[in-house]
Amino acid sequence: MVLPRPHAACLFSLLAASPALAQILNPSFESPALADGGFTRTTPSWTGFGDAGILNPSTSMFPGEADDGANVAFLGTTGGAGFLRQALATTFAANTTYTFTVRSGRRTDFANSVVYRLTLLNGTTAVATTQLSNPPIGSFRTDTLTANVLPGDAAVGRPITVAVQLVSGGQLCFDDVDISSAALCAAVSTQPQGGTICPGGNKTLSASFAGTTPFTYVWEAETAPGVWTALTNGGAGPGGFSVVSITTSGGGLTSSMRLLSTTAGDAKNYRCTATAGCGAVTTSTATLTMCPADFTCDGFIDVFDFFDFVNAFENGNPIADVDGDGFLDFLDYVEFIELFESGCD
């Protein structure tokens, strides 16, 4: 028999700077005591559904037997796919990262493919989930699920539940379940939203973050496929003629990037990276598309747009560079007429 590691006496490992987490009984399934090769569908401290139980694996199942202690949990498909969960007397806290880990494996004498999920729930609603497949045969690996809980999330103040579920396949064995919490480093709470720009108009992109302040922010434009170029406050936009304005608000948790007097060359992908002392996070991509025919920026295509384009073209205004090639020429005039007639989608 292998003795359990000291830390396995409770499910949740604690970090000094993180919210206190309640202990959980039976994290490595040492109760009840079983003979070698024995199993039970009784799962003390865990709620089981379908084909779920506890097993004391013999060396024919796992050469090193259990990963931690004498027993492991198992999930099969007899009578329904197995599912084990446990609710804690602890609630989710804002500005916290939770890391849920399980040691998973397959028996050497029952090595069918398996698909399974790890889930963190706030009661019955999933906060985070990950789907995994085919852990090693005859040994165990560490599977990890991470969840960031932000201020205002529905999970805040609700009970923490951990769950392991077999989705399909043969039999999954797992052991040494653990969860830890730490102060949130950096996470995106509001992604920037793309949209349409017009010649000579203004456009603002904003992103909000949560975590360990202070943050420094960098906005970037994708100036070529896979090439991201940092934008400078007061500098030129990617089209070369607009002006960039970058501001911070919301107690330092929101960054906004405004393009003033946009041209066709500003129709790009944009993103923002927030950096804290402990790490960094980058938003998803926000795409700006140009409606060159809406020259008055009023959301309508009409004769006034035509007159404004002709005036800008004759006066050499860069916003009349409809094809975005950096030159004002007959091709811009021809392309504007085509766009004017077809409108903007």
Sorted by where each begins, the domain ranges of the chain are 6-183, 186-290, 303-342
Q: pLDDT of the chain along its 345 residues, tens only?
A: 443 444 433 333 333 345 567 677 899 999 999 999 999 999 999 999 999 999 999 999 999 999 999 999 999 998 899 999 999 989 999 999 999 999 999 999 998 999 999 999 998 899 999 999 999 999 999 999 999 999 999 999 999 999 999 999 999 999 999 999 999 999 999 999 999 998 889 999 999 999 999 999 999 999 999 999 999 999 999 989 899 999 999 999 999 999 999 988 999 999 999 999 999 999 999 999 988 888 888 888 889 988 988 998 899 988 888 887 888 888 988 888 888 888 776
Residues near 299 by beta carbon (within 8 Å), at least 6 away in sequence: none
- Predicted local confidence at residue 345, as pLDDT: 61
Residues near 217 by beta carbon (within 8 Å), at least 6 away in sequence: 246, 248, 255, 272, 273, 274, 275
Same-fold call for 6-183 versus 186-290: no
246-270 b/e (C-beta count within 10 Å ≥ 16 → b): beeeeeebbbbbbbebbbbbbbbbb
Superfamily of domain 186-290: Immunoglobulins (2.60.40.10)
The answer to whether residues 281 and 294 touch, using CB atoms and an 8 Å cutoff, is: no
Select the CATH number that applies to the domain covering 6-183 from these four: 2.60.120.260, 3.40.50.720, 3.40.50.1000, 3.30.70.2740. 2.60.120.260
